[in-house]
C-alpha cells in the first residue's frame, strides 16, 4: 500500500511533495498548508506517521489523507471574507487552514457528531493560536464548532459561500447539501464514490465536476429511536466584532505594512522567505492503485484527456545531477517573527502588547 505522494520528513517536505504531484496548485493553498503543521493534530504516539500521505483514525478522531485535503482546498476556491461550513469538522485541521485564507471578516463554522472530537478540536485550535509563529503571518478567521448530526441542520440556518462534507453522501442527500449553498457558492463532497465539486450558478442551476475517485465512510443517519424527535442543529450566529477587536485587526495590519515597507527600503524586494533546500525531483505519476485505510480510499485520480499529452513530464532526466547541499545549509536559522518583535518594541503597557499578540506564548 502507498499514498499518492512520497512521505515527507517534516511538514514542509510533505507540502513540497504535494506540489510536485500537482495536488497543491495555488499559492494561497500552499501558504495555508505550510502554516499549519499536520503533526500537531495527531496524538503524540502516532506523530511518526503525520507526514505520510495516509488517512489516520483513532477512536472517533480522524484525519483524511493530505492529498484529499489539498484537492478539497483547491476545489473550494477560497477567498477572504467568505463564509465556510465544514460538515464533519473532526480535528479542525482543515477548518484552521481555511480560516487563514478567510481572514478576520469571514465565517468559519463546523459541525461534528462526536462531542469528544469537538473538545479535541478546540484544544488543537487553542494550541495553534498560542504557539504557532506562522499565526502572525495571517489574520485568522477562528473556527466555531457545534455538536450534532449534519443531516439535521435547522432549516432556518443561513446559507454559506463554501461547504465541505467529510463523509460519503448518498444521492438521496444531494439536494439537502445543495440547499446549504448561496448562489455562486461551491460545495465539495464525496458523492457516490467520487469527490465532487458542485457550483450553484443560479437559484435552481448547478455545475458539477468530478475530481477524484474516493471511498469515504458514509454519513451516519439520524437516530430518533430514543425520543422519536429530530434534534435540530443550530449553527452559530454570525458574530459582530467588537470595536476593541476591530482595533487590534487594524493595528496589526498597519504594523505589517510598516514592516513590509522597511524591508523594501532595506533590500528592495520585501521580506524574503528563508532559503529552502533543493530536493530531488520526483516523478509524477497517475495513480492506478487504490489504498484502503479504515474504509477510506484516497488515491485514484480521475484522468483528464490532457494527461495523456503530458507524459513527457513523467520522466526525469537521469543524467541531471542535483546540487550538493553543504552541511552548513542543512539547518537554516529559524525565521524571525517581525510582527512580534515590532509589537514588543512599541511604547505600550504590557497587557496591551499581549492583547495585540493574542496572548501568545512564543
pLDDT of residue 230: 65
Q: How many helices (H) and strands (E) does the chain have?
A: 9, 11
Please work out, in degrees rounded to the nearest 5, the angle formed at the alpha carbon of residue 82 by the alpha carbons of 76 and 84: 60
> End-to-end CA distance of the chain, in Å?
39
pLDDT higher than threshold 90 for residue 248: yes
pLDDT computed for residue 133 by the predictor: 83
- The DSSP element (H or E) to which 267 belongs, if any, is helix 243-267
Q: What is the DSSP letter of 142?
A: -
Give the pLDDT score at 341: 92
User: Quick check: 274 pLDDT over 60?
Assistant: no
Looking at residue 160, what is its pLDDT?
Answer: 97
Question: If DSSP codes are grouped into helix, strand and coil, which group holds residue 98?
Answer: helix
Q: pLDDT band at residue 115, thresholds of 50, 70 and 90?
A: very high
State the pLDDT at residue 285. 45
For position 6, what pLDDT does the model report?
79
Dihedral sign computed on CA atoms, order 135, 136, 138, 141? positive
Q: pLDDT per residue over 311-355, tens digit each?
A: 444 444 444 444 554 555 556 677 788 999 999 999 999 999 999
In which band, very low, low, confident or very high, does the pLDDT at 247 lie, cut at 50, 70 and 90? very high
Lowest mean pLDDT among 24-33, 53-62, 139-148, 310-319: 310-319
Is the pLDDT score of 290 beyond 50? Answer: no
Is residue 63 a contact partner of residue 89, using CB atoms and an 8 Å limit?
Answer: no
Q: What is the pLDDT of residue 291?
A: 44
Per-residue confidence (pLDDT) for residue 359, from 0 to 100: 86
Mean pLDDT of the chain: 84
pLDDT of residue 316: 46
Q: Is pLDDT above 50 for 210?
A: yes
pLDDT(245) > 50: yes
pLDDT of residue 284: 46
Per-residue pLDDT, 329: 54
Q: What is the pLDDT of residue 277?
A: 52
287 or 39, greater pLDDT: 39
Per the CB < 8 A criterion, the answer to whether 352 and 252 are in contact is no
Q: Which helix (H) or strand (E) holds 111?
A: strand 107-112
pLDDT of residue 331: 60
pLDDT at residue 238, rounded to an integer: 84
Task: Please state, in angstroms and rounded to a whole number, the distance separating the CA atoms of residues 56 and 42.
Answer: 9
Reported as a pLDDT band with limits 50, 70 and 90, residue 58 is very high
Higher pLDDT, 300 or 12: 12
Q: For the purposes of burial, counting CB atoms within 10 Å of the CB of 180, is it exposed (0-12), middle (13-18) or buried (19 or more)?
A: buried
Mean pLDDT along residues 270-290: 48
CATH numbers and ranges of domains, the chain: 11-222+230-239 (3.40.50.150), 241-262+336-361 (no CATH)
User: Rounded to whole angstroms, how far apart are CA atoms 355 and 316?
Assistant: 51
- Kindly list the catalytic residues: 64
pLDDT in the model for residue 299:
46
DSSP 180-196: TEEEEEEEEEEETTEEE
Q: 22: alpha, beta or left, given left = phi > 0 and alpha = psi -120 to 50?
A: left
pTM attached to this predicted model:
0.80
The pLDDT of residue 134: 82
Checking 189-194 for CB contacts under 8 A at 24+ apart, the result is 189/87, 189/163, 189/164, 189/165, 190/165, 190/214, 190/215, 190/216, 193/168, 194/302
Higher pLDDT, 308 or 260: 260
C-alpha cell at 31: 501558504
Return the residue matching grid coordinates 439535521.
Answer: 152
What does the pLDDT average to over 93-101? 97
Amino acid at each position: 500500500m502507498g499514498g499518492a505522494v512520497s512521505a515527507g520528513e517534516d511538514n514542509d517536505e510533505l507540502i513540497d511533495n504535494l506540489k510536485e504531484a500537482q495536488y497543491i496548485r495555488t499559492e494561497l493553498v500552499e501558504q495555508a498548508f505550510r502554516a499549519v503543521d499536520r503533526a500537531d493534530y495527531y496524538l503524540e504516539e502516532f506523530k511518526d506517521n503525520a507526514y505520510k500521505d495516509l488517512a489516520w483514525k483513532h477512536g472517533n478522531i480522524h484525519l483524511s489523507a493530505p492529498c484529499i485535503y489539498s484537492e478539497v482546498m483547491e476545489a473550494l476556491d477560497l477567498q477572504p471574507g467568505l463564509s465556510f461550513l465544514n460538515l464533519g469538522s473532526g480535528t479542525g485541521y482543515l477548518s484552521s487552514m481555511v480560516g487563514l485564507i478567510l481572514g478576520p471578516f469571514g465565517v468559519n463554522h463546523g459541525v461534528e457528531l462526536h462531542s469528544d472530537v469537538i473538545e479535541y478540536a478546540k484544544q488543537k485550535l487553542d494550541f495553534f493560536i498560542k504557539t504557532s509563529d506562522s499565526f502572525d503571518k495571517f489574520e485568522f478567521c477562528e473556527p466555531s464548532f457545534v455538536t450534532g448530526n449534519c443531516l439535521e441542520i435547522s432549516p432556518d440556518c443561513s446559507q454559506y459561500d463554501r461547504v465541505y462534507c467529510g463523509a460519503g453522501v448518498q444521492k438521496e442527500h444531494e439536494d439537502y447539501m445543495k440547499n446549504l449553498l448561496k448562489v455562486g457558492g461551491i460545495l465539495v463532497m464525496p458523492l457516490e464514490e467520487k469527490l465532487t465539486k458542485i457550483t450553484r450558478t443560479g437559484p435552481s442551476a448547478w455545475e458539477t465536476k468530478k475530481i477524484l475517485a474516493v471511498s469515504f465512510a458514509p454519513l451516519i443517519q439520524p437516530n430518533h429511536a430514543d425520543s422519536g424527535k429530530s434534534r435540530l442543529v443550530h449553527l452559530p450566529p454570525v458574530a459582530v466584532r467588537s470595536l476593541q477587536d476591530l482595533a487590534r485587526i487594524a493595528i496589526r495590519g498597519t504594523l505589517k505594512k510598516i514592516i513590509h515597507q522597511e524591508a523594501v527600503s532595506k533590500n528592495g524586494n520585501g521580506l524574503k522567505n528563508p532559503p529552502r533546500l533543493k530536493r530531488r525531483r520526483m516523478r509524477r505519476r497517475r495513480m492506478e492503485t487504490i489504498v484502503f485505510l479504515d474504509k477510506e480510499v484516497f488515491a485514484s485520480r480521475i484522468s483528464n484527456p490532457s494527461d495523456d499529452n503530458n507524459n513527457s513530464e513523467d520522466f526525469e532526466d537521469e543524467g541531471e545531477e542535483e546540487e550538493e547541499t553543504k552541511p552548513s545549509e542543512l539547518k537554516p536559522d529559524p525565521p524571525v517573527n517581525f510582527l512580534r518583535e515590532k509589537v514588543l518594541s512599541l511604547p505600550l503597557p504590557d497587557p496591551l502588547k499581549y492583547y495585540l499578540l493574542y496572548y501568545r506564548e512564543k
